[in-house]
């Protein structure tokens, strides 16, 4: 077989193999073809692992079966579920050879031509290599099958892959046992028909960029002196000694002042978790690999995380936002897609994002909160998820407050003392390497995170909508700090739900001159502090609205 078109047409995602071994010469020729594939910046970031061990294949098959069960549960109908179960989607144990094709994210630690627009270019190069290997095998009378229904984190652990090495999946290699009637297997089995011709459309109109500068107006201040006195009088006239409900009294007055009523109500409380990945995570600043961001977003969507439990407990509407996770989530998930990119770049040697991307973040965060406000909600909490984002937040805190980085950095999601020293050292280098302008917008772009900047936009919009703003821990407080710098009056609407175990958090609270509701040594993120503190906020509103006054209860205030 020598004609290229015939080779291309006969290439198949093979699931049925003979027992014939794959000669070394065949796989060597195929891997050489992979090596000839385009490589962004000539990084040689693609690496291959061969697997012949029956024990390893069996373990990988176990990972497939576990995730295949999840796939079955996601089918759209009972008929589709039955059809899905009849498909053969892997030949892990049957194929004589296993191949794992990986791309090495560590090449991004240094400047690489072709990756400034997207870190994904590294992955795309490896996909090109996979296609070359497939075509070479086809030309030699062999074939390959791509298995991607796996828990990739467990897959990497099972193979002992380093954190920086990302697999495209598991590839079954061997001599095909069938030609599938010269058509794709899924088409042969009537799962879906492949279109005869490619989708092509010519773009003739240039569209304006949507990244317009977002402005958040500052409303005229409510002439509040008389109302504040009336509100305080109502609180003092409750059947209790003055001030005896402590912080709840302060909270009740704040809520009354925000809504400008003596009888405030919390309506349709919402909590939004913004998730994104950070390039700086590639440098060992976290105890967890970057893929945990994707795993936790999936956990949020299936209802298994702490924030799901606490929101359900307290009847808070929960929304999850993909602000920039390094993963393409299915379109049919209950996920708000506001993806700016597949994670930020590492700011060790260059900018994490562009100024345009910062403005896009502000805009998307603003739009999300505006849509929630339209439902009638007047209370919104903010949470986050992103491996490496405590490092990002620490640097932002350092440059905004002018503090040494060691005063801002904490252990995040559990790094040990030795890792903490390394984390501080890396972030010191990052700040020292900064070569941009001294204005705050340039620094936000250089050191920022997609989810942090979207929270900033969301918080500023919540102030515009005059909503109560519930602030979670360290990372959310850094986002609030940025919002505060843009509109200091936002402090009136903010309730700081807890003091984090992160050392930098209390410094931010002290700088803002505020007090948090809880001290529970939380450092989970996700907005969990907001959800846990919410019953206290409801209690403040309840006593203000429902508790008897001295007059209504016939109690003399002099007796208390």
| Residue positions annotated with a catalytic role | 526
The SS3 assignment for 516 reads: coil
- Whole-angstrom distance, CA of residue 560 vs CA of residue 556: 8
CB neighbour burial string for 108-136, b if at least 16 within 10 angstroms, e if fewer: beeebebbeeebbbbbebbbbbbbbbbbb
The number of residues making up the chain comes to 560
Q: Pick from 6, 48, 42: which is nearest to 179 by CA?
A: 6
Bridge partner residues of 318 (DSSP)? 271
Q: Side-chain half-sphere of 485: how many Cα atoms within 13 Å?
A: 17
341 Cβ contact list (under 8 Å, min separation 6): 118, 119, 324, 353, 357, 450
DSSP letters, 291-351, are: HHHHHHHHHHHTT-SHHHHHHHHTT-EEEEEEEE-SS---TTSS-EE---SSSPPPTTSS-
Task: Name the nearest CA neighbour of 451 among 320, 354, 329, 309.
Answer: 320
Contact 305, 322 (CB under 8 A): no
Give the sheet arrangement for strand 97-104, strand by strand: 46-51, 97-104, 165-174, 143-147
Cα angle: 362, vertex 339, 73; to 5 degrees:
135
- CA–CA distance, 103 with 105 (Å, rounded to integer): 6
CB 85 within 8 A of CB 94: no
φ, ψ of residue 224 in degrees (nearest 5): -105, 0
């Amino acid at each position: 077989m020598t004609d290229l078109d015939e080779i291309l047409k006969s290439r198949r995602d093979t699931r049925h193999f003979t027992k014939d071994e794959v000669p070394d010469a065949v796989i060597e020729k195929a891997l050489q073809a992979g090596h000839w594939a385009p490589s962004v910046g000539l990084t040689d970031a693609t690496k291959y692992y061969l697997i012949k061990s029956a024990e390893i294949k069996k373990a990988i098959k176990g990972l497939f079966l576990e995730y295949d069960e999840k796939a079955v549960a996601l089918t759209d109908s009972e008929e589709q579920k039955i059809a899905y179960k009849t498909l053969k989607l892997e030949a892990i144990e049957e194929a004589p050879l296993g191949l794992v094709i990986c791309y090495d994210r560590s090449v991004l630690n240094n400047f690489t031509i072709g990756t400034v627009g997207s870190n994904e270019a590294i992955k795309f190069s490896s996909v090109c290599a996979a296609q070359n290997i497939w075509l070479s095998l086809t030309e030699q009378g062999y074939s390959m099958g791509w298995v991607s229904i796996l828990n990739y984190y467990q897959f990497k652990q099972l193979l002992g892959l380093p954190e920086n090495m990302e697999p495209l999946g598991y590839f079954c290699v061997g001599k095909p046992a069938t030609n599938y009637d010269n058509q794709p297997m899924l088409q042969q089995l009537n799962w879906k028909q492949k279109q005869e011709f490619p989708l092509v459309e010519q773009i003739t109109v240039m569209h304006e960029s949507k990244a317009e500068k977002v402005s958040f107006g500052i409303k005229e201040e409510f002439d509040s002196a008389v109302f504040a006195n009336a509100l305080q009088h109502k609180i003092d006239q409750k059947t209790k000694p003055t001030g005896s409900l402590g912080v709840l009294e302060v909270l009740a007055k704040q809520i009354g002042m925000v809504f400008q009523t003596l009888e405030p109500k919390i309506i349709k409380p919402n909590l939004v978790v913004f998730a994104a990945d950070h390039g700086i995570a590639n440098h060992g600043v976290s105890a967890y690999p970057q893929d945990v961001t994707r795993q936790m977003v999936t956990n949020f969507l299936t209802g298994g995380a702490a924030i799901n439990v606490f929101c359900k407990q307290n009847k808070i509407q929960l929304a999850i936002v993909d602000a920039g996770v390094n993963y393409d989530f299915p379109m049919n998930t209950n996920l708000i897609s506001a993806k700016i990119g597949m994670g930020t770049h590492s700011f060790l040697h260059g900018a994490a994002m562009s100024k345009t991307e910062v403005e896009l973040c502000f805009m998307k965060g603003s739009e999300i909160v505006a849509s929630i406000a339209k439902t009638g909600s007047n209370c919104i909490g903010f949470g986050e998820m992103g491996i490496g984002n405590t490092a990002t937040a620490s640097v932002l805190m350092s440059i905004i407050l002018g503090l040494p980085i060691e005063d801002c950095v904490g252990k995040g999601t559990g790094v040990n003392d030795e890792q903490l020293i390394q984390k501080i050292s890396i972030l010191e280098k990052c700040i020292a390497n900064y070569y941009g302008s001294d204005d705050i917008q340039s620094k936000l772009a250089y050191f920022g995170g997609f989810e942090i900047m979207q929270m900033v936009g969301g918080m500023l919009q919540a102030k515009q909508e005059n909503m109560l703003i519930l602030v979670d821990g360290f990372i959310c407080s850094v986002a609030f700090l940025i919002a505060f710098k843009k509109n200091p009056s936002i402090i009136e609407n903010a309730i700081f739900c807890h003091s984090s175990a992160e050392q930098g958090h209390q410094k931010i609270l002290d700088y803002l001159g505020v007090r948090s509701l809880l001290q529970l040594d939380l450092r989970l993120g996700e907005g969990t502090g907001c959800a846990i503190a919410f019953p206290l906020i409801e209690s403040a509103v309840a006593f203000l609205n429902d508790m008897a006054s001295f007059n209504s209860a016939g109690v003399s205030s002099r007796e208390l």
